[in-house]
Amino acid sequence: MRVVLEDGTALGVITIEEALRAAREKGLDLVEVAPQAKPPVCRVMDYSKYKFEKNKKEKEARKKQRQHQIDIKEIKFRPKIEEHDYNVKLKHIRRFLTDGDKVKIVIRYRGREMMFQNAGTELLNKVLADVEDLGVMEKKPEVLGKQQIMVIAPKAKA
């Protein structure tokens, strides 16, 4: 078997017993790196330290991947909403857009409110006008059952 030391220098082709002896002398582990090779390649290393650093790199990679992920946040409105309630929800929408998330705006209708869908459309247009500096309409308002939905995406940073 071909043996490589922890610093990268090759010990050469030696028997398993000699390789294990060399690993024990240094207080390290003998790890088989390439079992398919002729002869198989082993490395003298601290295996627990190797596993720890490998897990640390994987966690960091997952963390970086999460930073580029875009979430869709949902804000629910009613067609007859008071000004203060509207302003609070608008502030949330603006925060979501500045964080880089898409916002799904849902207007829910109950009972006879379905007859006055134009009030809901006006509300969606008002929201879009209030956030036009931060976002653009990605999906036009559409009625699905008893609710009207519109999606706003954050503007691309120039």
Average pLDDT over residues 22-32: 90
User: Above 90 in pLDDT, residue 1?
Assistant: no
Answer whether the bond into residue 154 is a cis peptide, omega within 30°. no
Give the burial class of 3: count Cβ atoms within 10 A of its Cβ; 0-12 exposed, 13-18 middle, 19 or more buried.
buried
Which pLDDT value is given to residue 158? 53
Q: Which CATH number is 72-154's, of 3.40.640.10, 1.10.150.120, 3.30.460.10, 3.30.110.10?
A: 3.30.110.10
Which one has a higher pLDDT value, 62 or 76?
76
Q: Which CATH number is 2-67's, of 3.30.420.590, 3.10.20.80, 3.90.850.10, 3.30.465.10?
A: 3.10.20.80
The fraction of the chain above a pLDDT of 90, given in percent, is 52
- Sheet with 41-45, strands from edge to edge, namely 10-13, 2-4, 41-45, 29-34
What's the DSSP call for residue 22? H
Q: Is the pTM of this model over 0.75?
A: no
Residue 135 · residue 103 · CB < 8 Å: yes
Which pLDDT value is given to residue 67? 66
Average pLDDT over residues 112-139: 91
Give the pairing of strands 72-77 and 102-108.
parallel
Classified as helix, coil or strand, 6 is coil
| All structural domains of the chain with their residue ranges | 2-67, 72-154
Which pLDDT value is given to residue 92? 96
Which pLDDT value is given to residue 68? 67
Average pLDDT over residues 32-38: 88
Task: Report the b/e string of 97-125 with b at 16+ CB within 10 A.
Answer: beeebbbbbbbebeeebeeeeeebbebbe
